[in-house]
Amino acid sequence: MRVAGAEEQKMNADNPSREVILGRIRDALGAAPAPAPAPCAYSSIFDPIANPLERFQQECAANLMECLLSSDEASSTQHLATALSSLPAGEIFAQDDPILRRLLTSAAVAQQMRWSSEGAPAESSQATISRCEALIAQTGSIFVTAACGGRGASIVAPVHIVYATASQLVPDLETALTNATRNQTLSRGSFACVISGSSRTADIEKILVEGAHGPRRLVVIVQL
Amino acid sequence: MSAASQFLLDAGVKSADITHREIIRKGVENYWAGHMKGRQRIRDWEAARQRCQETKQEAVSNLHRYLLQFEAGVHSRGGHVFWAANSAEACEYIRALAVSRGVKTVVKSKSMVTEEIQLAPVLEREGIAVWETDLGEYIVQLRHEPPYHIVTPAMHLNRDQIAELFKKKIEPALATNDPVELVAVARRALRKAFFSAEMGISGANFIVADAGAIAISTNEGNGRLCTSVPRIHVCVTGIEKVIPRLADLAVLWPVLATSGTGQPITTYSTLISGPRQPGEADGPEEFHVVLVDNGRSELLANEEQREVLHCIRCGACLNVCPVFRHIGGHSYGTIYPGPIGSVLTPHLRGPEFDHLAYASSLCGACTSVCPVKINLHRHLLHNRRDSVEDWNVGTGVSPAQPARGVEARRPRGKFSERLGFKLWRFAMLHPGVYGFGARMGKRSLRLLYALGLRGSLLDPMRNWNRRRAPVPLPGKSFRAMWRKGLR
């Protein structure tokens, strides 16, 4: 017979089915199960990635994302200014981050700015700018967390611009997720997302249409 | 009408609907081309399936441990976990929550479990507006239909039908059937809902034990908005969705996407571990996870069929099933259609759905594509056996414990069926009787067809002949040919 702690007793009192379901599961499974077999190596399932940056660029193209390489901060600023200059009038939301503040100041952005420290992006935001936790070469993905300007930063506006450095590039999903486990990414924040392209749907006759509910354009500036 | 008779009727009508068959054929062909291209991207597809199977097996064999680990993680960040034994408990928890928080509008992202527990009508009875925000789900909601397919809910409609629907229900001025414009119409309509809703309801593709997080895969981004903008987020999911480790997703995510749509990975592979934390820019103030049992723990007790709980709901078995392709998703009369639905539904909803075990040619296509290697056609055979065997009178030779109440079982083979098999057995043991019967049968059929009654109510081959080109009756029987030296 298991002895429930005080907290667990309270949980069971609020939710009587909890102990019923757990009891049924324990009865169904019986004694301790056999140990799990050793999983086969990730490299035998997926091809190892020889050149992560090249692979990342290829996958970005396949995901209909724009990947812009820059040699230094000045060139990143230039990319940022170009991307923003083509936008219609309206507010721009950015993750409140010292480097992004510096870049956006030198880019001399004409639009009204809103920073993540002031809360969620407005529904009418024309673009959002954020950093990321990692870039994943295997799938051409950007890995963002709540710390990258919050949840709305990567979904609310029609354009999402990500500023990253080449040092953030990891070869594959396994590396990205193992790092996230080690860094306790989901204990320190409430959200993370592997984003692999612009928002899309194929629900009508399986025809791909971009810009369903999220960004139509996803731009990644990778500073080497 | 019983579920079985309704099924035969609907399946008969649908399989003769040429437009429907054309739409499904196109959809499935596109799927298959994309899926096979996706498989090429994975070095060893079989190893990937093997790994996914092992991961799910490990999770399901330690279900309570991993669920408790997940629960502790969610609690530590101020989230709530509610355990619901059945649909009624799950719906009541969410209804009471919505009412107590003054919720007027709910936005939903795609979740088969919310269909299973029939959540939307419960909320609508409280005067709460419920918006399905996945495009396919939104389309079938406007048509007051259940989802046709677990991944592509509006697979049975072409762009003309969808344009007509949107014109009638959303934008009377709509003058095009261009998919780009149709998506824009839905986006405009749903955008308002996203930003006025107080509650977002999502499902979960996985429950990650070590991270204490739910994982949601979406392409449109509707799942992202549902879980970012409203002030309350409720995730409704089945207890079997658990996986041990975050890193397991490094294989599960690509395999789910490849099996579901042929993509390398779904556009937004999202992880949520709690409500908005201090210092975060946005996110819901409340995070509730409703863990639904609803028959799953009983299936867990059935060792023979436990692996059915490994299902990750990718929909691959539907796409490749020749029966699904002919009768369509709605004919099944179940929430989960296709092979996985035929296996699962009798366990979730009882013997009324035993007939679905026969909605299969046992070709095994489903088993061959299943990304977690569920032996689907074998389980259909198990269900057939269970549906006719009498567990009360057995002498202990039954190979497995029945999943459902033993007392409830009675011999359920039809009298006519049992008589038929008795006569068949007799004839097979008496060649003279068999030969006489075959000759008489052939003669009467010949007479019947000469009278022009092929396919009529008198024709014992009516089910075949009424809609198909006739199969000519052979001149000589096999037995006659055998005697004349075929051997």
| Residue A4, pLDDT score | 57
pLDDT at A3: 53
Please name the residues between 151 and 210 in chain A that touch chain B, using a CB distance below 8 Å: 151-156, 172-174, 176-178, 180-181, 186-207, 209
Q: Which residues of B touch A172 (CB under 8 A)?
A: 250
- Closest-CA residue of A relative to B109 is A213
Over residues A137-166, the mean pLDDT reads 97
Question: Which of B54, B83, B187 has the CB atom closest to A36's CB atom?
Answer: B54
Cross-chain Cβ contact A199/B221 below 8 Å: yes
Q: What pLDDT does residue B389 have?
A: 73
Across chain B, what does the average pLDDT equal? 92
Across the interface, whether the CB atoms of B280 and A189 are under 8 A apart is answered yes
What band does B478 get if pLDDT is binned at 50, 70 and 90?
Answer: confident
Q: So what's the ipTM on this one?
A: 0.95
Q: What residue has token string 């098999």?
A: B421
Determine the average pLDDT of the residues in B408-416. 61
- CB distance from B140 to chain A under 8 Å? no
Q: List C-alpha distances in Å: B352 to B37, B409, B414, B417, B438.
A: 40, 12, 15, 18, 36
* Residue A26 backbone class (left: φ over 0; alpha: ψ -120 to 50; beta: rest): alpha
Sequence-ordered list of residues with C-beta below 8 angstroms from that of B405, at least 6 positions apart, any chain: none
Task: Please tell me the predicted confidence (pLDDT) of residue B390.
Answer: 54
Under the phi-then-psi rule, with left for phi > 0, alpha for psi from -120 to 50, and beta for the rest, what region is B373? left
**Range with lowest mean pLDDT among A31-45, A111-125, B315-329:** A31-45
Report, as an integer, the average pLDDT of B461-476.
Answer: 82
Q: How confident is the model at residue B412 (pLDDT cuts 50, 70, 90)?
A: low
Residue B272 — very low, low, confident or very high, per pLDDT cuts 50/70/90? Answer: very high
pLDDT at B134 > cutoff 60? yes
Three-state SS string over B224-251 comes to HHHCCCCCEEEEEEEHHHEECCHHHHHH
Mean pLDDT of B337-351: 94
CA pair distance B304, B338, nearest whole angstrom: 20
* CB-closest option in A21, A155, A191 to B83: A21
User: Three-class SS of residue A198?
Assistant: coil
Q: What is the mean pLDDT of residues B260-276?
A: 97
Interface test with B, best of A7, A21, A42 (most B CBs within 10 A): A21
Tallying the residues shown for chain B, one arrives at 487
Please tell me whether residue B129 adopts helix, strand or coil conformation.
strand
* Mutation site, B37, B220, B227, B372, interface A, largest A CB count within 10 A: B220
> Does the distance separating the beta carbons of B63 and A29 come in below 8 Å?
yes
- Kindly report which listed range (A29-43, A133-147, B442-456) carries the lowest average pLDDT score: A29-43
Query: pLDDT digits over A75-99, tens only?
Result: 999 999 999 998 999 999 999 999 9
pLDDT bucket at B452, cuts 50 / 70 / 90: confident
Please give the Cα distance from B180 to A122 (Å, whole number). Answer: 25
Report which of residues B383 and B418 the model is more confident about. B383
pLDDT tens figures, B10-21:
999 999 899 999
DSSP sequence for A84-142: HHTSPSS-EEE---HHHHHHHHHTT--S-EEEGGG-SPPTT-SEEEE--SEEETTTTEE
Q: What share of chain B is helix, strand, coil (3-state, %, to 5)?
A: 55, 10, 35
Residue B25 neighbours by CB distance under 10 Å: 12
* Residue A133 near residue A178, CB atoms below 8 Å: no
Of the pLDDT bands very low, low, confident and very high (cuts 50, 70, 90), residue A1 is very low
**B357 within 8 A of B335, measured Cβ to Cβ:** no
Return the H-helix or E-strand segment holding A68.
Answer: strand A66-70
User: Taking a C-beta distance cutoff of 8 angstroms, is the pair B297, A25 a contact?
Assistant: yes
Looking at chain A, which residue has its C-alpha nearest residue B148?
A203
Contacts of B321 (CB under 8 A, 6+ apart): B338, B339, B360, B365, B366
Joined together, the tokens standing for residue A179 give 């790092």
Please work out, in degrees rounded to the nearest 5, the angle formed at the alpha carbon of residue B71 by the alpha carbons of B70 and B76: 100
The whole-number pLDDT of residue B287 equals 98
For residue B27, pLDDT over 70 is answered with yes
Q: Quick one: pLDDT at residue B399?
A: 42
Q: What is the pLDDT of residue A40?
A: 80
pLDDT digits (tens, 9 = 90+) for B375-399: 999 999 999 988 877 544 433 334 4
Of A42, A139, A191, the CB nearest to B265: A139
Phi and psi (nearest 5°) for B236?
A: -110, 125
Predicted confidence (pLDDT) at residue A32 exceeds the cutoff of 80: no
Q: Shortest CA distance to B394 belongs to which of B415, B409, B413, B375?
A: B409
- The b-or-e profile of A141-177 (16+ CB within 10 A means b, else e) is bbbbbbbbbbbbbbbbbbbbbbbbbeebbbbbbbbbb
- The amino acid occupying position B482 is W
Asked if residue A152 has pLDDT above 90, the reply is yes
Secondary structure (3-state) at A192: strand
Per-residue pLDDT of B159-197, as tens digits, reads 999 999 999 999 999 999 999 999 999 999 999 999 999
And the tokens for B231? 């002030």
Q: How large is the average pLDDT for residues B394-405? A: 42
Which residues from chain A sit within 8 angstroms of residue B54, using beta carbons?
Answer: 36-37, 39
- Residues B210, B271: Cα–Cα separation, whole Å: 12
**Which pLDDT score is estimated for A79?**
96
**Is pLDDT larger for residue B366 or for residue B408?**
B366
Strands B199-202 and B206-208: unpaired
Percent of chain B with pLDDT over 90: 81
Closest CA to B167 of B158, B154, B153, B177: B177
Q: Which residue has the higher pLDDT, A207 or B250?
A: B250
Instruction: Inspect the interface and report whether the beta carbons of A17 and B83 lie closer than 8 Å.
Output: yes
Alpha-carbon Rg for chain A in angstroms: 22
What's the rounded Cα separation, in Å, for the pair A26 and A207?
46
Give the pLDDT mean for B242-256.
Answer: 98
How large a percentage of chain A has pLDDT more than 90?
A: 79
Pairing between strand B199-202 and A141-145?
A: unpaired
